[in-house]
Each structure stands twice: as C-alpha cells, then as structure tokens.
Amino acid sequence: MSPSSTTTARRLPDEELELKETVLHGHRVAYRSAGSGPAIVLVHGITSTSATWERVVPYLAARYTVIAPDLLGHGMSAKPRGDYSLGAYASGVRDLMVSLGHDRATFVGHSLGGGVVMQLAYQFPERCERLVLVDSGGLGREVNFLLRSATLPFSEVVLPFLASTRLLDAGRLVSRAFGRLGLRAGTDVAELAKGHASLADAEARAAFVHTLRTIVDPGGQRVNASDRLYLAQNVPFMLVWGERDSIIPVEHGRTAHELVPASRLEIFEDAGHFPHVDDPQRFLDVLLDFIETTDPAEVDADAWQGMLKAGS
C-alpha cells in the first residue's frame, strides 16, 4: 500500500511498531504504541489481535499517538480466569491509555472492539473525543452461524479438535468449511482462520468461549446498544462497514446511521468484515478525513445528565 496525499508520505519504521508489554492489575497487557499527538485507540475483534491494524498503524502514527492493545484473552496479553464482559474490556482499555499518559482519545473499534468502545464511551464519556465503529457488534441480533454455534453447550470440548494442527495445516479444508458457513472467500476466511488457529491454546480457547457467551447466544447477539445510540448525538460518530460482510450484516450499520442522523456512514462496496484489511488506503483516507474535519467532543456532567433525561 502506498500512502496518498491524504495519508501523508511519512511512514514510521517497523521497529517503532513492535509489541510492548505492561502490567495492569497483575495481568500482562501487550500493546502497540507509536507516534505523537492526539491519541487514537484501535480495538480489535474477537480472536484477533492488535496486528489486525498493521497496515494502517504506521501511517496513523505519523500524525497521531496510536495505541492498539491485545485485549485480555487475546494475542500476547494474559488469559486469566476472570471477567470478559464488555464493561471489563472497556475499563481495561481506559486503564491502559491512562497508564500511557492519555486522558482522552478517538476510539476505533472493530467487531467485538466496536462493542468495547461503545461501552467505553458510555461508561467514560469524558474520555471519548470521537467514536468510530468498524463492522461492529452490538447493533443487532443477526450474526454468522459460526459464532452462534460456538456458544452451544460442550463447545469447549469440540473446539480443540477443530483447532488441531492437522486441520489448521489443511488450509483448503478450513476455507471450504468456512465457505459452507456463509463466510466470504478471501480476507474474511483468512482473518478468521488466523483467529481459529489461536484456539489451539487452552487458555485462549477458554477466554474466547467466555467472551463470546457474554455477547452472543445460539439465537444471535445478546447485546444491542441501539437503545443508547442517542447518547452519541453530541460526539463525532462514524460507522465503517464492508458491504460484503459475512459475519455481521451491513444493515446493522445502516440502521445505526438512521438512529443517529448526524453520524457519518462509509460503506466499502468490495470489502467484507475487515475493511481496514481489504482496503487500508480508503480506510486511512476516511478515518483521517473524519478526525481532521470534526472537533473533539466535550461532554460534561450536566450535558450527560440532560441527554439521559431526554432519552428516558
């Protein structure tokens, strides 16, 4: 990917983007952080890691401070027996950014990460300058059968066999299996196969099941933040969605946009569930334009109370 005039010609060296570690509340937290200036926090989806942003972080970090954690239970972060709810994840992201010296940020969340940053903006509105949801969970019931089936009883017993080395090495078998489940060939299958591979680790597998069951049941997504989207009316708010998303339908993005008329909706016609991977150049262009053409939100206690009363 070559940067356009919109994204800038500067790209940070790869060594500045290497994974770092800190300890929060006794648990190891891995993260990538680079750049200087106003903070942008990038939050990945379930079974993914901060590496999902690797094609956009070097360019964002040329203008901003970028913080991209591996959520607990994912990647190189600890995988304790503990709380994997959206609220716990939101608090963890808040604690990481504050520990790194940032009180406020633009929050960008993909898939599960969208639910996390929505929860963060709800719990800590004073921390949120802008909110960007990328093919986000938490905006409707529908979700791919693959995720719904993983919440069924005894899925913990089946997952080790599905994530066996023999099966993972058979790339064509994995692709065919995902294809039969309605997943879009190409990036969606490749990215989900990476996440699928992580489930060979027992601790990661337990964290995955625990996390998933807090937000999804066999009938679909359990969490729906649509009734609280009115709280985003005074925060610069953008939705980015791949029109060919085979995990969470693009209709969720369109509906959320209708509920918040002041929001911005960007649909990537040729992208699936990972538009920042399918078309990183366009993703950079729309994200940077959004940040640079909006003023950071300033939500005080009185304004927050007024919105809650008006929405009750």
Q: Which of the residues are catalytic?
A: 111, 245, 273
As given in the structure block, the two tokens for residue 115 are: 């639910």
Q: Do 55 and 277 touch, CB atoms closer than 8 A?
A: yes
Separation of alpha carbons 61 and 99, rounded Å: 19
41 vs 152: CA distance, rounded Å? 33
Instruction: Tell the residue number behind the tokens 């954690």, with chain if given.
Output: 69
Beta bridge partners, 131, equal 107, 237
Tokens of 211: 């996390």
Measured at the CA of 139, the angle between CA 224 and CA 40, to 5 degrees, comes to: 110
Which residues, in sequence order, are CB contacts of 172 under 8 Å at separation 6+? Answer: none
Nearest CA among 5, 4, 110, 7 for reference residue 53: 110
Rounded CA separation 132/121 (Å): 11
